Amino acid sequence: MSSIVVVSDRILAGERPNAAARQCAERMAAEGLAEPAVRVVREAREAVEEAIRQALDAGHRLVLVLGGSGFRAGNDAPEAARAFIDVELPGVAESIRAHGLSHTLTASLSRAVAGLTARDRTGALIVTSPGSKGGASDTLDVLLPLVDRIFAQLDEV
């Protein structure tokens, strides 16, 4: 079970389509993951934390947070995610940025993080990502090939 948390005031207000989340859900399903639950929240740390908490409480082991990873006011997704992360996976976040840099220089502006909530089978993987379709695609390009290995390591403990 997985979740996509979209952090965007404009999508929440209906001013923009939720294109990146749709794209991610389709790719995740194509990779054999169950179709993720999608939730859109406002650009505020407490809203992001509540959405992550609810996903974890529902037993979701993969939580992808789209948006809120830049540096504008309200872009607190990395901080919200870190509140739940016990083990950070900096190589994953660095790889996502490096992959994005092959397409666009703005990938270097992302503050995205990746990490685990625990070091055993109770652990969930939380990854924050840019909210653009391109940034989300770069995230999945790196993340999807790693998901099975990450959970295999967690589940063997």
> Residue 157 — very low, low, confident or very high, per pLDDT cuts 50/70/90?
low
What pLDDT digit, counting tens, does each position of 46-89 carry?
999 999 999 999 999 999 999 988 888 889 999 999 999 999 99
Token code pair at residue 8: 């965007």
Report the distance separating Cα 136 and Cα 120, nearest Å.
27
Total-model pTM: 0.96
Report CA 104 to chain centroid distance, whole Å: 20
Domain range for 151 is: 2-155
What is the 3 state secondary structure string of 75-91?
CCHHHHHHCCCCEECHH
- What type of residue sits at position 115? G
Quick one: which of 67, 61, 28 has its CA closest to 47?
A: 67
What pLDDT digit, counting tens, does each position of 106-149 carry?
888 889 999 999 999 999 999 999 999 999 999 999 999 999 99
Token code pair at residue 32: 């054999």
The count of domains in the chain is 1
Whole-Å CA distances, 121 to 68, 84, 124, 150: 28, 16, 8, 10
Token code pair at residue 96: 């996502």
Strand ranges (DSSP E) for the chain?
A: 2-7, 37-41, 62-66, 87-88, 114-116, 125-129
CATH code at position 43: 3.40.980.10
Report the distance separating Cα 115 and Cα 110, nearest Å.
16
Percent helix, strand, coil in the chain (nearest 5)? 50, 15, 35
